[in-house]
Amino acid sequence: MSKVIYPGTFDPITKGHLDLVERAAKIFDHIVIAVAESPKKKPLFDLKYRVKMAETVTSHLDNVSVTGFSSLLAQFLKDEKAEVILRGLRAVSDFEYEFQMANMNRVLAPDVESLFLTPAEQYSYISSTLVREIASLGGDISTFVAPCVKEALDKKYGTGKQ
């Protein structure tokens, strides 16, 4: 069985993330969305809530599971007996960082390959950081995230329309 790990902070999960998961679900037997605790990034939502949002957004996909982790990704990959790391590339600017991470992961987990997918064009500019910023300023994020994520951000920032 082929298993791919899609790691990230997912703070919050966006339609760009979902696009990659849906396409990977057609290629792999099982996709694990690995939500990193990432305390150094100071996420807006706690780990448990980010896992819950990702589960809700991907609930229509039978071969996708979501789990949180706080270990080194290489250790998580070994624990999960995963063969592939899925990463998204939105723009050329992502490539340098992702290339460096792929090479580091190749040293730390030599039996695991990194696979890069690009999101559909309509999602190529979306990032969790931009979504949070727009939401914090009361902007409409409904085209960038699932309804449950929009609701969570509206609640967090007190910007929901009544």
DSSP letter for 70, please.
Answer: -
Residue 17 is among the residues annotated as catalytic for this protein: yes
Write phi, then psi, for 89 (nearest 5 degrees): -120, 110
Q: Which of 15, 50, 87, 128 is catalytic?
A: 128
Q: Terminal CA-to-CA distance of the chain, rounded, Å?
A: 47
Q: Which of 90, 124, 136, 156 is catalytic?
A: 90
Give the number of residues written for the chain: 162
Residue 136 is among the residues annotated as catalytic for this protein: no
Q: For 44-156, where are the E strands, in sequence order?
A: 64-69, 84-88, 113-117
Whether 120 and 89 have beta carbons less than 8 Å apart is answered as no
Q: Which of 41, 48, 60, 155 is catalytic?
A: 41
Whether 23 and 49 have beta carbons less than 8 Å apart is answered as no
Residue 30 is among the residues annotated as catalytic for this protein: no
Residue 60 is among the residues annotated as catalytic for this protein: no
Residues with active-site annotation: 17, 41, 90, 128
